[in-house]
Amino acid sequence: MMMPAPSPAQSDSEDDVELMSRVAKGDEEAFAAIVSRHQYAVVGTVSKMLGGSTDAEDIAQQVFIRLWKSAKKYKPTAKFTTYLFTITRNLVFNESRRRKRKQHSSIEEQGEEWGAQVVDNDAASPSDEALKAELVKAVDKAIGNLPEKQRMAVILRRYENMPYEEIAKVLGISVSAVKSQLFRARSELKESLASYLSV
Domain ranges for the chain, please list them.
7-101, 127-199
pTM (predicted TM-score): 0.73
What are φ and ψ of residue 20, in 5° steps? -65, -35
Pick from 78, 108, 106: which is nearest to 170 by CA? 78
Q: Which helix (H) or strand (E) holds 184?
A: helix 175-192
| Percent of the chain at pLDDT exceeding 70 | 79
The DSSP secondary-structure symbol of 136 reads H
As a CATH number, domain 127-199 is 1.10.10.10
Write down the pLDDT at residue 103.
55
Percentage above 90 pLDDT, the chain: 51
Compute the distance between CA of residue 100 and CA of residue 55 in angstroms, rounded to an integer: 15
Does residue 26 sit in helix, strand or coil? Answer: coil
Query: Which helix (H) or strand (E) covers residue 70, if one does?
Result: none
| Fold of the CATH domain 7-101 | Rna Polymerase Sigma Factor; Chain: A (1.10.1740)
Identify which of 188, 186, 164 has the alpha carbon closest to the alpha carbon of residue 177. Answer: 164
